[in-house]
Amino acid sequence: MKGWLQQHKPTARRSLSRHLIGVSVLALALVAGVGGWAATTELSSAIVAGGVVIVDDNVKKVQHLTGGIVGELLVKEGDRVEAGQVLIRLDGTTVRANLAIIESTLAQFYARRARLQAERMGAASFEIEEDLAEFIPGTAAAKLIEGEQRLFASRRSALSGMKGQLDSRKAQLADEVEGLTVQLNAIEEALKLIAEELTGVDSLFGQGLVPMQRVTTLKRQRAELEGGRGRHIAARAQARGKSSEIDLQILQLDEDRRSEISKELTDVEAKIAEYEERRTAATDQLRRLDITAPLSGRIYQLAIHTVNGVINPGETLMLVVPEAEDLTVEAKVATHDIDQIRVGQSVEIRFSAFNQRTTPEVEAEVVTVAPDLVTDERTGASYYPLRIRPKAESLAKLKGLSLYPGMPAEVFIKIADRTVISYLTKPLTDQMRHAFRED
């Protein structure tokens, strides 16, 4: 037996060597094949992140600035509404009554201003530029205009009457001046005759032909005439002075009238400006009686349910949430993955609220990348928020399924394809890179 083993030992060694060589070749071929496959085969990679459906423009609150009483409630919870559609109509009784009072007062001021402007210019009539029928009913406007025209005529007549009285007094003084002038002319003529007569009498008195009494009488008459002439001159001057005073009175009358009118006009202009502002505010308040939808969407969290209910200023009445075409997904990407994210990157979204076996993934793209990380105050975790917008044609694959704000989603952000070997060697190369940088 021992001899037989010794005889066949070289043969066994050669057979084992052949087997070892075969196994080695096979192992090398396997390693080479796997290595080649790992080096050449590319796998699609993606960053997986959690997300939630949000409204791109955010949910719109429906509020009212001043509040009021509900007159009509035109929507209910879940209704689909269009932008500008009336949701609630407030009771406008008080607002309309206030606006009517303001417009009536404004119409009165417009008519008064037109009358005062005509009085200031001394016009014989006036017209109102504004159409008062826009502010008050036609009959009321006609009565208002008629009243102002009567007042215009009355005031014009009163002024004319006062001026007429002064003109009459002035005419009397003119007659008085004329009479005094005639009397003065007569006195002057009498004085001239006495002077001639006195010259002749003085000559006769010198010859002793007339007595002294005759000379004295003529001189006395001359003195009396001269005194009368002085009194008439003074009276005429006084009459002329009174006539000038009347002229001043007429001028002062016009000046006082213009001053009074200007003051009234200034007050009216101020009132018009005030009431025009009040009318604008009241008109705006009337316009805001209709509370409309700020955008198209659905009604949620309706807080008003009864007619005649009271709405407080600034109270949130309901929310209008845009529908799916206006929805986006906000995803939270880990800080170590942010360098692989860019705007326009392709994304696939899986909505976990739907049946995963029957609901397809929705194609989307990255629309915004946050410029800085955000830290969750509750968990302390840091992340970068992304906005991802689903493609409209891909949303159609949902076949009637509706998206709502707050729904969870799982997003797969596609990044560059990588070979299998790069996946296998990345941990090693990262460790070597860190090791070579150590001191």
Indicate whether 364 and 253 sit together in one domain.
no
Per residue in 51-88, is it b (16+ CB within 10 Å) or e — as a string?
A: bebbbeeeebebbbeeebebeebebeeebebeeeeebb
User: Would you give the DSSP letter of residue 124?
Assistant: S
Indicate whether 152 and 75 sit together in one domain.
no
pLDDT at 271 over 90: yes
Q: Name the band, by pLDDT with cuts 50, 70 and 90, for residue 6.
A: low
Q: Identify the three-state secondary structure at position 361.
A: coil
Q: Identify the three-state secondary structure at position 60.
A: strand
Indicate whether 82 and 100 sit together in one domain.
no
In a domain, 115, yes or no: yes
In a domain, 297, yes or no: yes
Indicate whether 253 and 391 sit together in one domain.
no
Domains of the chain: total: 3
pLDDT at 190 over 50: yes
Name residue 410's beta-bridge partners: 50, 350
Indicate whether 255 and 177 sit together in one domain.
yes
In a domain, 193, yes or no: no
Indicate whether 385 and 312 sit together in one domain.
no
In a domain, 412, yes or no: yes
In a domain, 20, yes or no: no
Indicate whether 177 and 48 sit together in one domain.
no
In a domain, 24, yes or no: no
Encoded amino acid at 328, one letter: T
Domain containing 351 equals 41-57+322-437
pTM over 0.85: no
In a domain, 33, yes or no: no
Indicate whether 126 and 242 sit together in one domain.
yes
Indicate whether 326 and 388 sit together in one domain.
yes
Indicate whether 278 and 301 sit together in one domain.
no
Kindly give the pairing relationship between strand 68-73 and strand 327-333. unpaired
- Percent of the residues in the chain that have a pLDDT greater than 70, as a whole number: 82
**Of 394 and 110, the one with more pLDDT:** 110
- What's the mean pLDDT in 13-25? 65
> Which range scores top for mean pLDDT: 125-139, 220-234, 260-274?
260-274
In a domain, 114, yes or no: yes
Pull the structure tokens for residue 142: 């006609």
Indicate whether 309 and 328 sit together in one domain.
no
Question: The CATH number of the domain where 386 resides is what?
Answer: 2.40.30.170
CB–CB of 275/188 below 8 Å?
A: no
- What's the mean pLDDT in 255-275? 91
From 278, 303, 319, give the residue that closes a domain: 319
Question: The CATH number of the domain where 85 resides is what?
Answer: 2.40.50.100
pLDDT at 371 over 50: yes
CA dihedral 206, 212, 215, 216 (to 10 degrees): 150
Indicate whether 250 and 330 sit together in one domain.
no
